[in-house]
Amino acid sequence: MASTIKVKTKLKGDVAQIKSLMLHPMETGSRKDPDSGEIIPRHHITQLIFTNNGKQVMVANFSTAISKNPYFSFSFKGAKAGDILNISWVDNMGEKDQLDTQLK
């Protein structure tokens, strides 16, 4: 299965700039299916974690108030070329994905 995570990284000295996109429906549980009229079940990312060489550099806890295919951008210090950035998420239905990328 192809990853649902897209990421771009950029190093400026020891600062890593991270731009990421999670491909996820992020349903709130309050919309109705236009054909059946039934409520579309809640389905959203609950936690997003970024680690650099095994050390957490950012953790985000989400609820239903995040848009479809959320985009997330941040920077952190202490990075160097060759470091391994791991991005992982889990959602309220137990689905998850993760991606490793090397900082350049």
Residue-wise pLDDT for 16-70, tens only, equals 999 999 999 999 999 999 999 999 999 999 999 999 999 999 999 998 889 999 9
Report the length, in residues, of the chain. 104
Distance set, CA 95 to CA 77, 85, 91 (Å): 30, 21, 5
According to DSSP, the residues that pair with 49 across neighbouring strands are 59, 88
Question: CA 62: distance to chain centroid?
Answer: 10
pTM above 0.75, yes or no: yes
The pLDDT value given to residue 1: 63
According to DSSP, the residues that pair with 76 across neighbouring strands are 16
Classified by CATH at the fold level, domain 5-102 comes out as Immunoglobulin-like (2.60.40)
> Do 10 and 101 touch, CB atoms closer than 8 A?
no
Whether residue 99 has pLDDT greater than 90 = yes
